[in-house]
Amino acid sequence: MAIEPTNQEVAVEIGIDEVEVERYRQEALQLGDGSWLVYFSYAMPKELRHRFAGSFTAIIPNSFSKGDAKQEG
C-alpha cells in the first residue's frame, strides 16, 4: 500500500514552503499510476500555484516505492 506524501514532500515537489502546504492542503487521492493528486484550498494565493496541474491541484509522482520496499523487507 502506498503512503500519502507528507507536507514536506509536497512542498519540495511544488517549490513552496512546508508551512504554506500545511495551511492550504485539503486532501490527496492516489491515481492509477501510483502518483498523488493533491487538492488545495481556493484561498491559496495565485503566486503559490505556479507549478500546479490545475487551478488548485498538484500531481506528486509516486516516489515512495523505496520506503514501501523497506517496510516489506
Question: Residue 70's pLDDT is what?
Answer: 42
Residues 59 and 36: beta-carbon distance below 8 Å? yes
Residues 16-53 pLDDT 10s: 999 999 999 999 999 999 999 999 999 999 999 988 98
Please report the DSSP string for 43-73 in residue order: TS-GGG-TT-SBTTEEEE----HHHHHHHH-
pTM of the entire predicted model: 0.80
Tell me, what DSSP letter sits at residue 33?
T
Residue 71 has pLDDT above 60, yes or no: no
